[in-house]
């Protein structure tokens, strides 16, 4: 009996200090109406029909990795791109940015790989690593170059994806007209952790479980209203 009580006490303590475990993200899925995922070749086989019919909440959008650096192209992107649209899920493409590679070459890699069409979401710059050799000013210049080239090509301002730490170091106070997408798994309220008027996407877990996808997947909430989400699409 004492052992059982000890186990129960430990579980309760764990839930108390980890609200995400206690609610299984229910508080987030109930708070926001629009949710989506982001994927790459790491997800391997995807049953898009099951994703579209996910039981816990509706998958309204999916961002797919298209390119990385100056030359890498995600092998799954072409099929995922078509299948996502066929499943009736709003789709968007992202580029994994490499600070050490030419931003010009990286922009061309993305543009040459992604044909955005009417109804697709704005392109995304995925910025996840800081530099030990370049100044913050130089990093911002390289980011700006990629954003400028891609915006000119598609006629829409790209979304910037990053985490809370890199946001505070490189992004905060700059890129004021770009929509922000922040990854932060350690807060239950992203607007409290990162206060910014253009913050619209929150990646709140990298360990989500979605019907049709084996293994873990990133899950995101859109923080704005429906019309704001629609305004991020190409028309």
Catalytic residues: 128
Angle, helices 103-111/136-154, rounded to nearest 10 degrees: 30
Nearest-angstrom CA–CA distance, 64 and 38: 6
Beta bridge partners of 161: 126, 181
Residues 28, 26: Cα–Cα separation, whole Å: 5
| Helix residue ranges, H only, the chain | 2-17, 19-23, 26-31, 48-52, 77-86, 103-111, 136-154, 164-166, 190-193, 226-231
Task: Give burial (CB, 10 Å; 0-12/13-18/19+) of 103.
Answer: buried
């Amino acid at each position: 009996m004492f052992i059982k009580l000890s186990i129960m006490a430990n579980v309760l303590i764990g839930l108390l200090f980890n609200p995400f475990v206690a609610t299984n993200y229910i508080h987030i899925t109930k708070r926001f109406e629009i949710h989506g995922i982001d994927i790459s070749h790491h997800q391997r086989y995807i049953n898009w029909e099951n994703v579209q019919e996910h039981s816990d909440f509706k998958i309204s959008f999916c961002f797919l990795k298209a390119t990385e650096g100056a030359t890498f192209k995600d092998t799954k992107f072409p099929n995922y791109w078509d299948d996502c649209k066929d499943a009736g899920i709003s789709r968007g493409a992202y580029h994994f940015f490499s600070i050490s590679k030419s931003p010009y070459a990286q922009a061309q890699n993305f543009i040459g790989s992604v044909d955005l069409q009417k109804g697709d979401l704005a392109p995304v710059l995925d910025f996840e690593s800081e530099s030990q050799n370049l100044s913050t000013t130089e990093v911002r210049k390289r980011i700006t170059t990629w954003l400028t080239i891609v915006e000119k090509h598609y006629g829409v301002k790209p979304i910037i994806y990053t985490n809370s730490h890199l946001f505070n170091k490189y992004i905060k106070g700059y890129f004021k007209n770009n929509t922000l997408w922040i990854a932060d798994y350690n807060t239950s309220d992203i607007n409290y952790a990162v206060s910014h008027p253009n913050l619209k996407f929150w990646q709140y877990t990298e360990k989500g479980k979605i019907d049709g996808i084996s293994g873990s997947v990133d899950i995101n909430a859109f923080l704005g209203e429906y019309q704001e989400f629609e305004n991020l699409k190409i028309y």
